[in-house]
Structure 1
């Protein structure tokens, strides 16, 4: 398998990575340079569909992308203490300063404290004063270096970020830029190869889908004639054929109200755009008067995939019509193709989550689902209606969960929300465990 790698970073580093990457026959490099780190997401958006793996030439663009809902594997080239050797050599050869003979006052960003000190000790360089900053925001880095320099607390600034380097040069600061070593780039490219192999392995996992119908041989509004039933089945048959052709699947319609199809994980992820869309469900909803649900499961064997698919189908039936996916590690994705799609695990060995579940008298799956819902919803403060809509519950079930959390001091009432239409104000609940549990 040839792994397509999108290389994201400033132009000079992208060119360096691509030059080194030419010796890797299993990697195809796709350049994606930017002028400033703020352009990271725009650059990714334009070309992400072309790549298997994203490789970032630095930690800042990686951190920016990490906070987004990007499904592709991501690798970054780290800034390490060994990268500092070349920069210190340039200071000695290009300035009147000699940090070996005369101690310097230096400010350094991004590099880990321990690695900087080890590097300086190896070179027997002992600065008069060293200021370290681990901030991941370019603006704050510029301010950090400039304030120290303008107050005469430093003589030289060292940065790992090109935009910071350019800004400080414009401000008249004596600044040097740390570039990643070739060995660090090769290490990251080796990690890219590992990600590519992992993708290949996951692509070949078995995927089983179960499509269940609630009213195949009837109508939601009236009984069907025999001809109506046959027409309905014929349309459905054609939709199944089209879907299975696209997903490279084979299907078995041995049960009257259920169709089972089998393919690979890679085919399902491509067809659903990594669980963002449910094309078969959408086609059925548009073209046939059938209420359908789909459960999809993955596994190394057909039996494992079948078990996961049944779990997914159970969840889909609760939220019908919908599609859910259960992964091999029992991570749940769904409802697929709908806004606010959740991702949570049916199990956990996290002592904190286990304690929360025990205290609240709720299952681990419910606690994980609540955490995922809060993350998607973007707020700790919700109403019973919000929870019911987000989790596909009845209002009564949502109120019962919120009351349970309130009784165990895991949620508190913080206000009321007046509905748009007439009705009683809705109580606003704030979860007390959310921020603590996701640290």
Structure 2
């Protein structure tokens, strides 16, 4: 595991020393700048070369977050809290010149007062300027200098390396709020957990199932084989891009195995969409589903559910199922994201009583809300839920039997088949 420390040099060196003692198995690198406002200069390379990032303080972290830089790796910052204050108080006590007045920055007033009360320490005068991302290092420096001139304060405590350095050069009696072993251990353990979680997430299995549907009834076998050969060459390039493996699992079906980390979002998926858009060159339509899972089996099950959704479309489509979320058709103007796990108590209750799939209940309620019409026929149910009329009739009968629908009439008889029931839903 590699962790980069981004921030001011004196804090970075101190943090690295502590981390080396506590976590000797971790490879640690420093990416330091003299001032917080310059931390962004070494941030990109820090993020590229490491699994996670430790910022030397909240100021460094905020300076990065306030830029256009994208934080994609796990990160933590080392706060200056009560333990840092305690360390300075101990240094003051050892100096045998315990001051009556102090000028201190970064820490908040509550944390300072708690530590002073806990160790029965008091000062006649305290000037404090807590951390704020809107205050520059130069302003913190001026704060301390002003306190020396106007308030005759002679002891200064700062959390900024650049402020400490300048005050020290001007012979101020200045002390540094350093990161402590306690906070370094605590935040490094949090970061390790985040890194491991991300690694597991990125290594989860991705399965993509691709189905080719022939256009029309008549096919010239040689022409079809030739076109499929071209399609497979393009598909192989896409598979290499996502570092996957390709299986031909049937006459017109393919399966791709990869990992979440290799299938890098829309950038890689767009390459497959470009292949799909070339369907006019082929005598077949391309449909696909992508699924994520902790195992190949679970990923394939998710991919097949996504493919089933794609096959309901009249044109080439791609859907993605990740956990309880389904997205699609990917790249389409009407792309939507929806939760396929029903959590609505009302829907779950109706489904339990009627023994109807809760997704079917949810879809019917959605249609009612969109149309404002509660009257439906067997044909309507069949169209809404993409079911056969026989299955739709069974659903209507279950709703009637459990008092969630009432018969309100029949469609006009056309002389073909039986007149269809029209029922009013009671959702």
For the 8 Å contact 1:297–1:312, the answer to whether it is kept is yes
For the 8 Å contact 1:217–1:229, the answer to whether it is kept is no
Larger radius of gyration between Structure 1 and Structure 2: 2
For residues 381-400 of structure 1, what are the structure 2 equivalents within 5 Å? Answer: none
1:237 is aligned to 2:228: no
Structure-2 residue corresponding to 1:123: 119
Structure-2 residue corresponding to 1:16: 14
1:188 is aligned to 2:179: no
> Mean Cα displacement is larger for which, 55-64 or 320-329?
320-329
Question: Please, which of 99, 104, 107 is the counterpart of residue 104 of structure 2?
Answer: 107
Structure-2 residue corresponding to 1:87: 88
Deviation at 1:179, TM superposition (A): 0.7
Task: Please give the per-residue CA displacement for 1:337-370, whole angstroms capped at 9, x wherever unaligned.
Answer: x9xxx99884999xxxxxxxxxxxxx9xxxxxxx
Would the alpha carbon gap of residues 233 and 106 (structure 1) be closer, same or farther in structure 2, given more than 3 Å must change? same
Question: Please, which of 266, 271, 283 is the counterpart of residue 261 of structure 2?
Answer: 266
Deviation at 1:46, TM superposition (A): 2.3
Structure-2 residue corresponding to 1:133: 130
Would the alpha carbon gap of residues 296 and 71 (structure 1) be closer, same or farther in structure 2, given more than 3 Å must change? farther
Deviation at 1:80, TM superposition (A): 1.7
Structure-1 residue corresponding to 2:76: 75
Q: Give SS of 1:186's match.
A: helix
User: Aligned equivalents of 2:94 and 2:336: distance in 1?
Assistant: 54
Would the alpha carbon gap of residues 243 and 25 (structure 1) be closer, same or farther in structure 2, given more than 3 Å must change? farther
For the 8 Å contact 1:7–1:31, the answer to whether it is kept is yes
Q: Give SS of 2:262's match.
A: helix
For residues 172-321 of structure 1, what are the structure 2 equivalents within 5 Å? Answer: 174-211=173-210, 229-245=224-240, 247-254=242-249, 259-268=254-263, 272=264, 276-278=267-269, 280-281=271-272, 284=275, 289=281, 295-302=289-296, 304-306=298-300, 309=303
Q: Give SS of 1:78's match.
A: coil
Would the alpha carbon gap of residues 252 and 104 (structure 1) be closer, same or farther in structure 2, given more than 3 Å must change? same
Structure-1 residue corresponding to 2:41: 42
User: Aligned equivalents of 2:27 and 2:293: distance in 1?
Assistant: 29
For the 8 Å contact 2:242–2:268, the answer to whether it is kept is no
> What TM-score, normalized by structure 1, do the two folds share?
0.59
For the 8 Å contact 2:238–2:272, the answer to whether it is kept is no
Task: Please give the per-residue CA displacement for 1:100-156, whole angstroms capped at 9, x wherever unaligned.
Answer: xxx3243331x2443322222233211223324131345154455455454427543
Would the alpha carbon gap of residues 345 and 282 (structure 1) be closer, same or farther in structure 2, given more than 3 Å must change? closer
Structure-1 residue corresponding to 2:59: 60
Deviation at 1:88, TM superposition (A): 2.8
User: Aligned equivalents of 1:31 and 1:283: distance in 2?
Assistant: 42
Q: Give SS of 1:107's match.
A: strand
Structure-2 residue corresponding to 1:396: none
Would the alpha carbon gap of residues 125 and 265 (structure 1) be closer, same or farther in structure 2, given more than 3 Å must change? same
Deviation at 1:43, TM superposition (A): 1.2
Q: How many residues align?
A: 335
For the 8 Å contact 1:6–1:30, the answer to whether it is kept is yes
User: Aligned equivalents of 2:15 and 2:262: distance in 1?
Assistant: 31
Task: Please give the per-residue CA displacement for 1:163-203, whole angstroms capped at 9, x wherever unaligned.
Answer: 34345557886543211112322223322332333234324
User: Aligned equivalents of 2:341 and 2:63: distance in 1?
Assistant: 28
User: Aligned equivalents of 1:34 and 1:344: distance in 2?
Assistant: 43
For the 8 Å contact 1:326–1:332, the answer to whether it is kept is yes
> Mean Cα displacement is larger for which, 151-160 or 126-135?
151-160
> What TM-score, normalized by structure 2, do the two folds share?
0.61
User: Aligned equivalents of 1:315 and 1:169: distance in 2?
Assistant: 68
Q: Give SS of 2:228's match.
A: helix
Task: Please give the per-residue CA displacement for 1:32-69, whole angstroms capped at 9, x wherever unaligned.
Answer: 12222223333121242221111212112222334543
Deviation at 1:82, TM superposition (A): 0.9
